[in-house]
Homo-oligomer: A and B are copies of this chain.
């Protein structure tokens, strides 16, 4: 490996001068600077980031941990985070917890070991508490995305789940639906709780009774077993005329399972969900959704994180940013028969 000492020897200067050429070029005479640069070129020198980080105690690398890398909500969010990082001279390391607190905990160890400058985290849920406390204890700056965790006070970017749920239920109620069900993520996830809250409020607003048989606590993850949803659908009698899904994964599961039972969407049952489907929704976007500003989640969160890092030591109040959802009407919802 080529080091600054190799450069130094060949250019007849000290290693320090080489280091200066890299970091404070103006403090080196033009003549030697050019000579050193030429040698660096010849030897194809590339600075060793680890050595640099070791002495500087900073890496200019940040970490983004999402719960499902295949979910377009998170990839779009990732693009936002990536752009904001690049705009500020940071690099991004990526992790994917698959909604599993265990995998998440592993990634937190990686974050600690690699001494990245900070982390942007979409927590798997309330069970993330120990991992986040660990980051806190080690003074790793972090910002939460999409979900907050009771017991952790920190910067966080959330979607307005309560309002989003109200929009969806309101839309369905105005179409005339009176039996509106909810298939949700685990209530150990803050967004699921808020969505359930908005759902209940909206039912009340429209004079509809809350019936817990019409509410299922499934899970947000792609890998979660849809069998629970299937069993739930099977035992519902009468069927709801509309179903609100807690996220995009659940919406697709519900539509698929309804159709598998020969139930037509939206003719017999309307379906609406949270989160949009990204650029690969298909040529014919089908599902009515309360869309979240995925890109903004990542971009805003990353900006908050970088602010935190820059204001290290200062005791700024935490920020809690809530991004609005947008109701997008498509073909999966229609008036009841």
Contact = CB atoms under 8 A, between A and B. Distances in A.
Contacts of A75: 69-70, 75
Contacts of A61: 114
A94 B109 CA distance: 17
A151 interface: no
Contacts of A49: 113-115
Given A70-B75, A79-B70, A92-B94, A113 B48 contact: yes
A69 B78 contact: yes
Contact of A280 (B78, B91, B259, B278): B278
Copies of this chain, whole number: 2
A47 B110 CA distance: 10
Interface in A38-80: 44, 46-51, 53-54, 57, 59, 61, 69-72, 75-76, 78-79
Interface string A244-271: 0000110110011001000001000000
Interface residues of A, number: 57
Given A69-B78, A79-B70, A79-B96, A46 B282 contact: no
Interface stretch (A182-190, A211-219, A231-239, A283-291): A283-291
Nearest to A73: B280
A31 interface: no
A310 interface: no
Interface in A167-205: none
A8 interface: no
Interface string A109-141: 110111100000000000000000010011000
A160 interface: no
A248 B280 contact: yes
Contacts of A148: none
A286 B287 contact: no
Contact of A50 (B69, B72, B115): B115
A310 B248 CA distance: 41
Contact of A279 (B51, B110, B222): B222
Given A44-B138, A50-B115, A265-B283, 7 more contacts: A44-B137, A47-B113, A48-B115, A49-B115, A71-B280, A93-B94, A259-B283
